[in-house]
Structure 1
Amino acid sequence: MSKKKKKISGGMVYSTNPDFNPQDYIENEDTETISPDKQDLRVSLDRKNRKGKSVTLITGFIGSDLDLQELGKKLKGICGTGGSTKNGEILIQGDFRDRIIDYLHKNGYSRTKKSGG
Structure 2
Amino acid sequence: MDLKDQLKNLFPEHVSETVEKQDTKSDIWLQDDPIICKYEKRKGKPITILEGYTGATEDFKLLAKSLKQKLSVGGSFKDDKIIIQGDYRDQIMTILKDKGFNVKRVGG
Give the TM-score, by structure 1 length. Answer: 0.65
Larger proportion of strand: 2
Alpha-carbon distance change, 37 to 62 in structure 1, aligned in 2, over 3 angstroms: closer
Q: Deviations over 1:29-72 (max 9, x none)?
A: xxxxx84252420111111xx21111110010112221111000
Q: Deviations over 1:2-29 (max 9, x none)?
A: xxxxxxxxxxxxxxxxxxxxxxxxxxxx
Q: State how many pairs are aligned.
A: 81
Deviation beyond 3 Å, 4+ runs, structure 1: none
Larger proportion of helix: 2
Give the TM-score, by structure 2 length. Answer: 0.70
**3-state SS of the aligned residue for 1:38?**
coil
* Alpha-carbon distance between aligned partners in 2 of 1:37 and 1:60, rounded to the nearest angstrom: 10
Q: Could you tell me whether the CA contact under 8 Å between 1:72 and 1:90 is conserved in 2?
A: yes
* Alpha-carbon distance between aligned partners in 1 of 2:31 and 2:59, rounded to the nearest angstrom: 15
Q: Out of 93, 105, 108, which is 1:114 matched to?
A: 105
**1:49-68 mapped onto 2 (5 Å cutoff):** 50-68=42-60
Q: Could you tell me whether the CA contact under 8 Å between 1:46 and 1:55 is conserved in 2?
A: yes
Q: Which runs of 5+ in 2 are unaligned?
A: 1-27
Alpha-carbon distance change, 84 to 59 in structure 1, aligned in 2, over 3 angstroms: same
Percent identity between the two aligned chains: 37
2:13 aligns with none
Root mean square deviation, CA, Å: 1.5
* Alpha-carbon distance between aligned partners in 2 of 1:42 and 1:107, rounded to the nearest angstrom: 15
2:25 aligns with none
Q: Which amino acid aligns with 2:68?
A: K
